[in-house]
Structure 1
Amino acid sequence: MEKLDNILLLASKGLFDEALEEARKLEDPFDRADALLEIAIKANGVNGIAQHQALEEAVELLRKIKDPYDRAYLSSKIAHVYSLLGDYDTANEFFEIAIDEIARIKDIREQVLGICVLAHYLARSGFFEEALAQFNDAFELAVSANIDYRSKIDLLIEVASIIENTADFLHSRDAIEFYKIAYDIFDKLYVSQKAADAEKKLNLAKTVYFFGTPEIRKVLLEGRYRYVVSLLEKSIEDPQDLFIALLEVSSWAKKVGSPEYLDVLGVAFRLFDRIGLSEKNVQKAAVILTDMDELERALKFAMKIADPAKRDEALRTISLKLAERKDFSEAFEVAALVSDPKKRRDLVENISELKKKLEEEF
């Protein structure tokens, strides 16, 4: 493990020749192939020569490996590297090899984990539906496994942990479903801390839905908001998109109780003062600001939404938020701005019912 960490460190620094040299020194063919594939993944988009070289050597080593679990693991990883290269036909061939090898695994635990590894790399390769289906198969197989209770619980926790780890590699919009499943398994198994961690990651992915890359989410979980702002400013060229990304970060900071949300919000609106906002983003801004309880600002954006149905929906959400805060006069005022007569009437009734309920409670 230490040798692999050193190899990955070299690759992360862009020292691919040195990383390849160290990987070739590993005696075990499986360890050598695994290290080469990690180098190939690190080299993606950075050093094509090193990537192809590492991949070719790993494929050659696969021929020497006989254990079906090891072959399934490496085949899944090789498939992922081919998908990174855009060669989806070859990627599918290796995913099929992995499936065949998994069928040969005798040990039930190894078979379950083999399916999870396959699902992990399917997801990282963009095959999300297929990955979810494979994770479901792994879960069902673990549940029905003829093993003792403690071993079964441990195996199910491993499955959920791999699902959570898979989500960590995905963009927010793709990660959400995987975090939901991981949380659900942990919660049902009463693994409280793991459930809480998965739930926090799920909420984060929902909050930074549009611009939540794995790197951004990782730094946000560490609470490094200024660094996140710096990363976003360097990586997002369109200032319109940057504004939305900053709103998402500010929203998350507020949800976790960090006063730095005001600093990030300030950066966002100083940018807005310079650029204004395009039609494509006014609805996004209105939704995020409503969720943050920045209702006055949200209302200004909502009124700029050109599509009447979308504008009415944004106004409805703001109105109900105001009602929840017991600001009923403002809630009715916003409700009056809804253009659709039926939706406006229903909304006024909802606010009136909420007001009556609160008055009865007190």
Structure 2
Amino acid sequence: MDVATMLGAPGDALRLPQQQWETGATEVLRQSFRYHFDRNDFFRAQCDADGVVPDDVRSRADLQRIPLLPVSMFKRPDAHVLMTASLADVEAEIRSTGTGGVPSVARRDTTTATRALNGIFASYREFFALSKGAGLFLSPSTAETPEMGMVKVFNILNGVFDDHVYLVKDYAFDPDEAMAYLKRWDGEMTRHIIGPPFLVNRLLRFLELEEIELKLDPESMVITLGGWKRYTGESISRDEFDGKLNRYLGVSPDRIRDMYGMIESNMLAIECEHHRKHVPPWCYVSIRDVSDPGKELPAGQTGGIAILDALNTSYPGFLMSEDVGEVDESPCACGRNGQTVSFRRRRQGAELGCCAVSIEKFIDSQEIVAECAVPAAAAGH
């Protein structure tokens, strides 16, 4: 199965027998490896140093030989050296800023942008089966944050809804406004909530403090992306999160779906109803020894998450992330095969960074400023 076929029918590709999945993933990644090997001098030098050529990749076991780009390189001012495509062919720049304030910049040429858009939308249809309803986006719009990767990924989803609204404006979020929209759509459209976990959690805290229980619809979904750790270091408990969504909004756990990805890759791993995040068929997740990134660990062991992505023609999509987790290749009860990935934490010494982190940090800073402001009348006394 080639990349175009995978993009057109990701559900079919994910339901192939495991051996066929291995063969298909290996072939599309070998082709991608050859593409960048032939066109990218920087990457070719890495391959020469490691003594590897595309013909060396014959089986899944050989994928670990493909050189990896550390995602930290995308923060460098000379990150353009990573490019296979010409800068003149770049259609979009996606950015993510974490607690350190230095943005990662990932550039997409037209081919990569087209493939990524097709792949993400097809994956949404496969896992969510949404084609109508109302979307309450607890995030800024792309008009406000046009280069933010998380927002762009959410924005692809809004095309399936009959109505939608973005509720983070000028980096401020008002839960009363969220409630007004949910009540306005009641009885008219199935209501769905989309946003990073910390903002959905803010809405839940509001409902808890106000002792409000507003039941959504039987088919309502809550879709999250952006990590479960706040910039303060505090973690959001998934079990507690799901429990409160069920209590205060009536959303059952199988309708709560989290996603995992990073702006440097086109991989978006989406949860099925059994809360396993399925790696798309055009990607392969390789778990590496944290102390020796050249060593691949068996499925089930915890280590550094490396992502090999066959969609990217902008730069080699073979990335060593700063995340730690594991893959599972056991059959999933949903009927899909391949890999599922679990994110555990950031690697020690790595900056906590994603779009959601920077949004949360800014919202908190604005709220603190507002709370500390001295009213004009009081200032006159």
User: Could you state the TM-score of these two structures normalised by the residue count of structure 2?
Assistant: 0.26
Higher helix share goes to which structure? Answer: 1
Larger Rg computed on CA atoms: 1
Structure possessing the higher relative contact order (Cα contacts under 8 Å, 6 or more residues apart) = 2
